[in-house]
Amino acid sequence: MGTEGLGTVLILLAAVVAVVAAFRRLRLPPILGYLAVGMALGPHAFALVPESATTSFLAEIGVVFLLFTLGLEFSLPRMIAMRSEVFGLGALQVGLTSLGAAGLAFLAGSRVEIALVIGGAVAMSSTAIVVQQLTEQAEINRTHGRLALSILLFQDLSFVLFLALATATVRGETDYSLLPLALALGKAALALLLVLFAGRLLARPLFFEIARAKGHDLFTLAVLLVALASAWLTARVGLSLALGGFLAGMLLAETEYRHQVEAVIRPFRDVLLGLFFITIGMLLDLPLLGRDFVLVSTLVVALFVLKATVVALVARRYCDNWFKSLRAGLVIGAGGEFGFALLALLVKSGTSAAYVQPLLAAITVSMVVSPFVIRHNKRIARLLLREQGPGGTAIAREAAIDAALAGREHVILCGFGRVGQNIARMIERQGHEFIAIELDPARVRTARGAGDPVVFGDSADEQVLESVGLNAASVVVITFADPAIAIGIVRAVRRLRADVPILVRTQDDAALEQLQAAGATEVVPETFEASLMLVSHVLLFLNTPMSKVVRMVGETRGQRYAALRSVFRTPDAELPDSDETSLEELRTVVLPPGAWAIGHTLAEVTDRGAQAMFSAVRREGIVGRDPAPSTVLREGDVLVVSGRPEVLEHAEAVLLAG
C-alpha cells in the first residue's frame, strides 16, 4: 500500500470516527455520517480519498454481509410463503415504475432502449440503506418492512435483465433477441436452486464438524466461506452479490448455529458496510448539484413521488389499509446503487449523457436523504393521509403501555438474553412487572413481537434509564456477562438514584470488588452459585440436616464466596459444542397472506406435525399467553414458539406452507 495509501486510510478513519460519533451524539442515523464523510472527502469536494476498484469491491462485500445477516432472520418456508408478495408486488412495482419513468424519458427525447434502461434505473432502490435503517428501527418485520423487503428481493432478481439491456445498448446492438435473456434467466434459476438445495444439504453437517473442533477462528472462516461462496456463485450468473449473501444467511438460519454465525459476521459487516455508504457519498457530484440545483431537486421529488405512489397503489391489496401501503412506498421511494450502475454504463459510453447526469445526481441525493425519510416514514404517512391511521394504533398502544408501566413499580432488566428472559418469566409468575433494555435489535424485535416490554437502547445511557422509569423502579438487574459493561451501568444508575437495589450477574469473581465499589448491592457469580447448589445437593444426599446446609450456604454467601474463590479460577469460554447449541430457542413467526395456518386452529397445526410449544399469540398488539388449542389463527398473527432449532424449522414450515 505504501505510506501514501496508509495516510489515506488514516484520514478516512479519523473522519469516520469524528463524524459518526457526532451524528450518534445528535441521535441522527449513522448512515448519514458515513455519507457525509464520503461527500466531504470524495473527488467532488476535498478529494482526499481517491476512488478505487478495491474500495468499491470491499464496499460491495459489506452489502453482502448485511444481506447475509438479514437472511439469518428468515427461513426458506417463510420465503416460500412470501412468494406472492415477492413475485406479485415486486413485479408490479418494477414493471409499473420502469414503464412510467421510461415513458417520461422517451417524451424527453431518449431512444426507446435507452428510455427502458433509465426506467429500470429509476425502479431500483437501495437494499443496503433500506434494510439497515429498518433494522435499526426494529421495523423490518412489520407489515411495511415485509412489503419493502419483498420488493427489494424482486429488484435484485430483475437487475440482470436491465443490465443485459444496458450492455446491449452501450455496445450499439439493435437485435434484442429474447434468447440471451432466457439463457440468463435459466442460469440464474439454476444458481438459485444450487445455492438453496446443495447448501441446505451441506450447511448443517459442515458446521457440526467445525463446532466439534471448538475453534473460534475456524468457525469464523467457515462463515466467511459460505457467505462469499454463495455471493460469488450468484454473481457468476449475472445476479447480484448481495442476493447470494441473503440466500446463504437464509440457509444458516435453519441451523442451530444461527446466533453464533451472526456474532462472528457482525464486525466484518459493520466495517465494510460503513465503507459502502462512504463510497455512495463520494459519488455525489457537488459542482453539478450546484449548477443544476433546481433540476436535480425536481428530479429527487419526482423520484420519491413516482415510486411511493406506485408502491402505495399496488401494495394496498397486500395489506389492510392505505397507511401501511404508503409507509412501504416511502421506504422504497429513493434510488439505489443498482440504478446508479445502470446509468453509469450509459454515461461512460457517452450515450445521452446530457439526460443522464442530472438523474445520476438525483438518485445519489435521494439515497442521502433516504435515511431521514425511512426514519420518519410513519409521521410522513400520517401527515400525507391527514389522519391517525389504523396502522399506527398498535404502535401507539405499545408506547402508551410502556409509558404507563414506567410510572408504576417495576423491575428494570438490563439485557434480555437467556438470563434476562428467565428472570422476566419468573417475576411475571409472581405478579410483578418489568421493563427490559436491550442493545441487540434482533432480540428486541423478537421480544416485542412476543409482547414483552423490551426497549432498544444502551443501559448505561442516563436518558434511556430515565425513559424506562428508574425513579419508580424497585430493583435494577444487570444480566450482561461482561464486567466492564456492568460497571458502566452501575455507575450510571447510581448517578441518577442512590437508593435503588442493583443486582449484577457475572460469570466469575474477577470484577467483584470493582462492582461493589461502583455501587452494586449484590453480585452473583454464576460459577460459584452453581458450586453452592451442587454442594447443597451432595450434602443432602449425605444425610446432612437441611438447616445445616442452609446455614452453610448462607455463611458462604455472606463471606462473598471467599472459601470457593480460593480454590480455582473459571476457565476461558469456548465455542459451544453441538450439545450446548441444541438448547431450546424462542422464535416469532408472522403469518403472511397465503399461509396455510390462517383459518386453522393450533390443534390442527399440531396434528399436522408441528411439535414446537406455542407460548403466546399476538394479535393487533394484544398478547395472549398460553393460547388454547382451539385458538383460530388469522392473517398477521405473531406466534411465539419455542423448541430446538430443527423443531422450530419444521413448525415454521407447517405454519407457512402454501
Average pLDDT value for residue range 395-420: 81
Report which listed range, 205-209, 298-302, 386-390, 406-410, is most confident.
Answer: 298-302
The pLDDT-based confidence of 99 (bands split at 50, 70, 90) is: very high
Among 19-33, 173-187, 407-421, 585-599, the range scoring the smallest mean pLDDT is 173-187
Whole-number pLDDT of residue 577: 41
621-648 burial, b for 16+ CB within 10 Å, e for fewer? eeeeeebeeebebeebbbbbbbbbbebb
Altogether, the residues listed in the chain come to a count of 658
CATH 3.40.50.720 for the 51-385 domain, yes or no: no
Helix residue spans in 137-215 (DSSP H): 143-170, 178-193, 199-213
Q: Which of 327-331, 383-387, 401-405, 608-612 has the highest mean pLDDT?
A: 327-331
Mean pLDDT over 609-615 rounds to 83
d(CA 339, CA 514): 54
Residue 563 in this model has a pLDDT that exceeds 80: no
- Answer whether 180's CB lies under 8 Å from 536's CB: no
In 3-state terms the chain splits into helix, strand, coil percentages (rounded to 5) of: 65, 10, 25
Q: Look at residue 222 in the predicted model and tell me its pLDDT.
A: 87
Helix (H, G, I), strand (E, B) or coil at 382: helix
Global confidence as pTM = 0.60
**More confident position, 147 or 320:** 147
Residue whose C-alpha cell is 408501566: 405
Which pLDDT score is estimated for 350?
A: 62
Amino acid 375: pLDDT:
87
Closest by CA to 652, choosing from 616, 608, 620, 621, is 608
Report pLDDT for 306.
94
578 confidence band (pLDDT: 50, 70, 90):
very low
Q: Are the C-beta atoms of 654 and 597 separated by less than 8 Å?
A: yes
CATH class of 582-656: alpha beta
Between CA 31 and CA 277 the distance in angstroms is 7
Distance between the two ends of the chain, CA-based, in angstroms? 54
Q: What are the tens digits of pLDDT across the range 151-192?
A: 988 887 787 678 777 767 766 655 555 566 566 667 666 766
What CA–CA distance (Å, rounded) separates 277 from 413? 35
- Cross-sheet strand order for the sheet of 638-643: 585-590, 638-643, 613-619, 622-625
User: To the nearest whole number, what is the mean pLDDT of the chain?
Assistant: 79
Tell how many helices (H) and how many strands (E) occur in the chain. Answer: 32, 10
Q: What is the pLDDT of residues 641-655, one digit of tens each?
A: 887 777 887 888 888
Mean pLDDT of 340-364: 73
pLDDT tens per residue across span 230-240: 888 878 876 67
Sign of CA dihedral 649, 650, 651, 654: positive
CA pair distance 540, 239, nearest whole angstrom: 65
- The pLDDT, as a whole number, for residue 400 is 72
* Beta partners for residue 551, in sequence order: none
Flag the least confident range among 179-193, 331-345, 490-504, 558-572. 558-572
Read off the pLDDT of residues 467-518 as tens digits, 9 standing for 90 and up.
899 999 999 999 888 888 899 999 999 999 999 999 898 877 677 788 888 9
Q: Name the residue among 568, 60, 528, 487 with its Cα closest to residue 502.
A: 487
Nearest-angstrom CA–CA distance, 86 and 200: 21
Does position 38 have pLDDT exceeding 60, yes or no? yes
Phi, psi of 636, deg, nearest 5? 90, -5
Contact at 8 Å (CB) between 184 and 160?
A: yes
C-alpha closest to that of 230 among 209, 255, 205, 202 = 202
| CATH classification for the domain delimited by 395-565, as one of 1.10.760.10, 3.20.20.70, 3.40.50.720, 3.40.190.10 | 3.40.50.720
Residue 119 carries which DSSP code?
A: H
- Strand-pairing partners, residue 456, are 438
Note the pLDDT tens digit of each residue in 256-277: 677 778 778 888 877 887 887 7
Contact 74, 253 (CB under 8 A): yes
Task: Provide the 8-state DSSP code for 50.
Answer: -
DSSP character at residue 601:
B
pLDDT surpassing 90 at residue 332: yes
Distance CA 152, CA 124 (A): 8
